[in-house]
Amino acid sequence: MSANPPPRGGSDTIFLENVRFFGHHGVTKAQQTLGAWFAVDVTLALDLTPGSLSDDLGATVDYGLVARRIVEIGTKDRVNLLERLAGLLADAILREFPVREARIRVRKLTPPMEGLHGTPGVEITRKR
């Protein structure tokens, strides 16, 4: 009796939660000067069959590399909007990793904004 591989093209995902970095993104002078901690959650849609069958990191997406790329982009340049930061992350991930779709959630954890109670953020989904 031989095992049949699962069908390809399912709804497999790799996710990373709470990838953190310190950046100077924002519209106000305080945000640009003081900076803030950011957290990024990423969900990547791809076929995980090759990795699940081979147990080989080369047959899947290395989420450690994805996390490093998120931190690199988040700390390299300054942008005004969380929307822009999320877009840059999505574009890089789709360009550099073999995924069908990337859902990116960016939150500003410590915004230097008087009177703000809560955590602002954005979520975008981009597909090939």
- Active-site residues: which are they? 108
Q: Is 102 in contact with 43 (CB distance < 8 Å)? A: yes
Q: Residue 124 and residue 86: Cα distance in Å, rounded?
A: 7
Residue 68, CA distances (Å) to 7, 26, 27, 122 in order: 31, 22, 25, 20
